[in-house]
Amino acid sequence: MSLEKLDAYCVSKLEELNAKGARKGAEKVIASIAVPDWIKAGRLPNAMEDENPGPRYFLAGDEKPYLLMNSNSYLGLTLHPRVVAAEEEGVRHLGTGPGAVRFISGTFQPHVELEKRLAAFHGRPSAMIFSAAYAAVMGVLPPLVHEQTLVVSDQLNHNSIINATRLSHPAKKEIYPHLDMAALEQILGKYAAGQSTEGGAEIRRVLVITDGIFSMRGDFAPLDEIVAICRKYEQYFAEGIITIADDSHGVGAFGQTGRGTEEYTQSQVDILIATLGKALGVNGGYVVTSTAVVDYLREMSSFYIYSNPITPAEALAAKGSLDILESGEGIKRLTRLRQLTARFEAGLAELGFETIPGEHPVTPLVVRDTRQTARLTEYLFQQGILATGLNYPVVPKGDEEIRFQINANHTVRDIEDTLAVLRKFLTDSYAH
C-alpha cells in the first residue's frame, strides 16, 4: 500500500500549523552538558559561585553554550552525583532493563522497595509504579470507571487526564471552569438531586479529578476545598465520590518538605498520581492510595500489566532522590528554589511583563499572541537561552506564553542574565 495520500494529508496539516505559527518544529538535541564543580560535589553554590553561570548545555552541531530555562528537574537532581551513582550501581548489578512486564519477570527488588518508600513518603498504605506519569493517569482512570460513573474535571487539566477520561467512556463527563469551586459544587449538587444521564442511568460513582499544579501556569488546585465539597455530597451517591489529583509538577517542588499540593493545602485526596521524572530527576510515574485499590489496579490496569516498568537502576536512582529530598539538603534545595523563583517573578514584574505569581517554579510570561510568542522564543534562543513557547492547543487561545521553569541548579547570575535578555528584547522592540 502506498503512503502517498496519507503523506499529502500530513503535509497539509503541517502547513496549516506553519501558517498559524503554531508548529513546534524540529526538536533541539542536547549533546553535552558543562557541569560546574559545585554540582559535581553534590552541593549548592556558595555566594561567589552564585555570581557565575550554572550548568550550560550544548546542542548537536552547535558550539554555543545555552542556559536551560525549560527543564522539569526542579531540584536539579538529574546531575546530582548521588543519584547518578545509584543508577550506575543498579545497572552494574541488575542490568540495563527489566526484560519483561511486572507479572512475568519484570519485578525487581528496587521496584518493591521504591513503592514502599513512595507510600510512606505520601502517608498512604500502598503505591504502584508505572512506566511514566502519563501512563499512570491513563492506567488509573479507566479501571475505576463503569457504566454508572460521572467524571468531573477542571477545565485546564493535563492532556493525560483528558485522554484518560475519553478512554474510560464514563456515563457522563462534566467540566468546571478553572478553579471554580462554586461551579464544582453546583455540578455535584445537580447529580446529588437525582439527575441521571441522557440514557436514564443512575449515577452511582463520581470521580473528581484535577491537576495539583497546573503545568502551563504554575497555579494550584485548592485540594482542601475540593475534598470538603466532595465529602459534603458523597452521601448522595451509592459508591461515593473519589477525589483524584495528578500532582506531577507539585511533588518535590511545592510545599515546605516537597510533598506537593497536598502539603501546601494541608489536605489529602483519595488517589494521588505523580511522577519520578520531574523534581525527582529520574523517570516513571506512580500512584499512591489504599492497598485494595492498588491491588485491584495491578490486576486491571492495562498500562501496568502490558508495559515494562522503569528499569531497576532508575528505581534505585529515584530512591536516591527521595533520600536527598527527605534530608536537610532537600529542605535547602526547596528553599533555594522558592528564593530564585521569587527573584525571577519580581524581575518580570519590574520589566512590565504579565505573569502568574506563586511559589511554584513554573513561571509563565504571558504573551497572549501566537506570533509574538514564537518571536520571543526565537530571540531568547539567539541569546543563548532555551525556553518553551506555548501556543494553542497546548494552552487556550489568548493564553499564549513563554513557560520559564526555575531549578535549584540555576545561579543568581542565571536569573539576572535571563532578565537582562528580556530587558534587551523590550529595548530592541521599542527601537523598531
| Concatenated DSSP letters of 235-266 | GGSTT-EEEEEE-TTTBTTSSTTSBHHHHHHT
* Residue 10, C-beta contacts closer than 8 angstroms, at least 6 positions apart: none
Residue from 414, 388, 392 nearest 402 by CA: 388
Cell of 279: 523534581
Report the C-alpha gap between 278 and 65 in whole angstroms.
23
Exposed (0-12), middle (13-18) or buried (19+): which is 369, by Cβ within 10 Å? middle
Q: Which residues contact 31 (CB under 8 A, 6 or more apart)?
A: 58, 59, 60, 61
Sign (positive or negative) of CA dihedral 79, 303, 301, 208:
positive
Active site residue 24: no
Task: Considering the candidates 71, 131, 168, 215, report the single residue annotated as catalytic.
Answer: 215
Which residue in the list 158, 172, 249, 319 is annotated as catalytic?
Answer: 249
CB 192 within 8 A of CB 233: yes
Catalytic residue among 122, 158, 278, 319: 278
Find all residues with CB under 8 Å of 422, minimum gap 6, and list them.
347, 348, 351, 353, 365
Among 132, 98, 99, 101, which Cα is nearest to 305's? 101
DSSP three-state, residue 392: coil
Residue with cell 528554589: 337
Verify whether residue 160 is a known catalytic residue.
no
Q: Which residue intervals of 75-207 are DSSP H helices?
A: 81-94, 109-121, 133-144, 159-168, 181-192
Asked if residues 236 and 218 have their Cβ atoms less than 8 Å apart, the reply is: no
Residue 106 vs residues 3, 79, 97, 274, 278: alpha-carbon distances, Å: 37, 27, 9, 21, 24
Question: Residue 365 to residues 242, 347, 418: CA-CA distances in angstroms?
Answer: 35, 11, 12
Whether residue 249 lies in the annotated active site: yes
The residues carrying an active-site annotation are: 215, 249, 278
